[in-house]
Amino acid sequence: MPAIEARNLVFTYAGSEKPSIENVNISIPKGEFVVFTGPSGCGKTTFCRCLNGLIPNFYSGNLQGELAVDGLNVNGRSTTELATHVGFVFQNPENQLFSLSVERDVAFGLENLGIPREEAVERVRWAMEATGILELRHKAPYELSGGQQQRAAIAGVIAMRPSILVLDEPTSFLDPHSAEEIVSVIARLTRDLQLTTLLVEHRLDLVSRYADRVIVMDKGKVALDGPPSDVYDDHARLIGIGMPRVTMLFHLLRRDGFPVTKNPITVEQAADELRRLLGQ
């Protein structure tokens, strides 16, 4: 059973004539780390909103096709029920944190689910440890740096023990160093907790090294889907996704007529391939 399975999914927002996503077919097996990308307005956010029931429960419109997460058909289920299966992390952590202490914020979702107190205390502690913020538990969220706030938001989500994690551009508001840290925390949690992770991201330089798979959306449809080295082809460049700079460099060298074959994803891979070509 795949973690996420969409079949011919179509959604049109109320008041709009054109569907925002059209005939989307995506099947993601358990445990995959998937980077979900595409130009702005391509339908990424709309697809994510379907996964936790925000569509159609909170955004009205016309939803067609089938979508199952964790084997559950999403249609007709409440966002509360889906929250124990799909954890959601947003762009701006400030929108997800509002309590007087980090600990209270991390516990908030569990209280809503009616988890018994002792178990909740245990889970909150575990989630703060897993995200490396245990020592910040008594601080107010506004005293935290952007990266720490985003860790707290992630802790609040994993405390609910979802099997699927969906993150909508979680690094947009972070400085590059904090962004790198957050992405490595996400990759570690995916591995250690055997999560299925869908990471919406423009900064492919940052995330590609962790990705099992990259899905590129364009104009509401899945345009490309596969391992990063296959997906970052000329078509991807035309769609306008910001592939890693080392990958771009190899595209340019290939266009210049040099026999570069592989698409490197990381600096290490690029350096190795260049050494091979230069016979060193």
Residues that bind another protein (CB under 8 A): 38-41, 145-147, 172-178, 180, 202, 205, 240-246, 248-249, 252-253, 256, 258, 267-268, 270-271, 274-275, 277-280
Instruction: Tell the smallest beta-carbon distance from residue 45 to another protein (Å).
Output: 10
| For another protein, the closer CB: 120 or 265 | 265
The answer to whether the beta carbons of residues 91 and 75 sit under 8 Å apart is: no
CA distances from 104 to 107, 116, 166 (A): 5, 15, 22
Instruction: Tell the smallest beta-carbon distance from residue 22 to another protein (Å).
Output: 17
Instruction: Tell the smallest beta-carbon distance from residue 175 to another protein (Å).
Output: 4
The answer to whether the beta carbons of residues 224 and 54 sit under 8 Å apart is: no
- Could you tell me which of 94, 127, 112 has the C-alpha nearest to residue 195? 127
| For another protein, the closer CB: 45 or 196 | 45
Q: At what angle do helices 117-130 and 102-113 cross, to 10 degrees?
A: 130
Task: In whole angstroms, give the CA distance from residue 263 to residue 232.
Answer: 7
| For another protein, the closer CB: 99 or 172 | 172
DSSP 161: -
Listed in sequence order, the DSSP H helices in 101-145 are: 102-113, 117-130
Instruction: Tell the smallest beta-carbon distance from residue 66 to another protein (Å).
Output: 28
| For another protein, the closer CB: 42 or 110 | 42
Task: Give the H or E element holding residue 159.
Answer: none
Instruction: Tell the smallest beta-carbon distance from residue 26 to another protein (Å).
Output: 20
| For another protein, the closer CB: 40 or 78 | 40
